[in-house]
Structure formats: C-alpha cells, structure tokens
Amino acid sequence: MELREYVSVRRAYNLVRQNVEATERLAFPELAILCHLHVSDGVLSTANIASYQKALRPTMTHRTKHLASLGLMVRQKGDDDRRNVMCKITEQGRRYVEKACEEIRGILRLGNVLSRTSQQRVIRYVDTMGTVLCSTSDLVVLYIYLMGDGHCTVGEMATGLGSLQPTTSMAVSKLERADLVVRTATNNAHSATFDLTESGRALAKSFEKAIGSLVVKRNI
C-alpha cells in the first residue's frame, strides 16, 4: 500500500464521519474491526481482533462493547474459554460497513488516488489499514511529510486530512511540544507554517515503511 493511498482513505473517512450522528459515529479503528469481520467468516474472538490491531485487551473490550451497543455486532462468551468473548458482525453491521465504504469511495472518486476503486475494494483497504493505526497527530506528520515543502498551515492540514481545524490545531500543538514539528513562519496564528523536525521525519518514515509493507488482498 502506498502512503498516499493510506492518507487518502483516512481523509475520506474523516469527511464521512463528520456527517454521521454523534451517537452513531465510529472511530476509524472501530470501522476497521467491522470491515475485518465483514471479510472474514463474520465471527472472531476479542483476542484475535486485539492481535489484528496490535491493541491491548482492555482497549479491544471498549471498542467491541461500543460496536455492540450500536447493534453492529454481538458479543458472546466462548464455548471453550469463557474468558474469551466471541464477536459476530450483525446484518446491521454489514449494512453500516457497506454504506460507509460506499461514501468513502464517493469521496475518493473526486481525487487522484484510488479514484476508480470499488466499494468492496475500499472494505479491503480499511480492513488492511486496521493493522497500522495512526492517530490524528500521526496523520498530521504524514501529511507534512507528503507535502515535502515545509510550509504547511493548519488550515491546509485540516483540509488535506478532512479533519476539523480545532482538532488539527491541537494535534500540531502536541507535535510541537514533542519536538516533531517546528514553525517555519510565525507572522500570525492563522498564517503560521510548519515543517517536520528530524525526529518527525524519522517517525513519518517509520510509518511509511509499515504502510508500505501492507498488502490489500483481492476480493474473492
């Protein structure tokens, strides 16, 4: 998978997510879990899903409970090990996946990356991307890295990532404190531009390597 493909799908989902009612809104890792179930036999243990996303068991319990509360999956105790919970996608969950990924596809069609992909192919992309998850701050690092000119404003980042400007601004501030980004112009708060520090560029390259190793399986 190319880095631009990864960022383009994440951007498209950020835009899709903004139009969903707050009570039904899913974080990208949660959508990835549903896509993972959708392309598998539909039933996986929480341990299996936690391994898939390289997440701690408590984190996965929280995510799957949220999905279950929305009726998108059911959680049942395993027959062999009562401590392990089995997760099964519901028909409502499948419809949610198909609708969300069709809307992602619609946004991708307007750009230059993955503009001719199918809905089922988007589902496969999201499933695969669930193994390398980036936070908002990580996505900001990747966006600046992709732009490469060292003069990205917060507004440009927000537009390029499909995120809200206050959220992007908070991420940039966090990255500044962590010495991952640096201001390249500081005329005023609205026109300040940013570039990656050496540490920020190293982080971007590590994500690029991880994402580059992902292989999106063909639809069966």
Domain residue ranges in the chain: 3-129, 136-212
CA distance 96 to 100: 6
CA distance 90 to 94: 6
Mean pLDDT in residue range 131-135: 95
The answer to whether 3-129 and 136-212 have equal CATH topology is yes
Compute the chain's Rg from CA coordinates: 18
Q: What is the CATH number of domain 136-212?
A: 1.10.10.10
Residue pair 141/204 in contact (Cβ under 8 Å)? The answer is yes
Task: Tell me the pLDDT of the chain averaged across its residues.
Answer: 92
- 81 vs 166: which has the higher pLDDT: 166
CA distance 69 to 124: 24
pLDDT in tens, 48-75: 999 999 999 899 999 999 999 999 999 9
Beta bridge partners of residue 213, listed in sequence order? none
Residue 138 has pLDDT above 90, yes or no: yes
Residue 120 has pLDDT above 80, yes or no: yes
**pLDDT at residue 59, as a whole number:** 93
**pLDDT at residue 73, as a whole number:** 96
**pLDDT at residue 80, as a whole number:** 59
pLDDT in tens, 169-218: 999 999 999 999 999 877 665 678 999 999 999 999 999 999 999 999 87
Mean pLDDT in residue range 71-86: 79
Residue 155 has pLDDT above 70, yes or no: yes
CATH C-level class of 3-129 = mainly alpha
Residue pair 184/151 in contact (Cβ under 8 Å)? The answer is yes
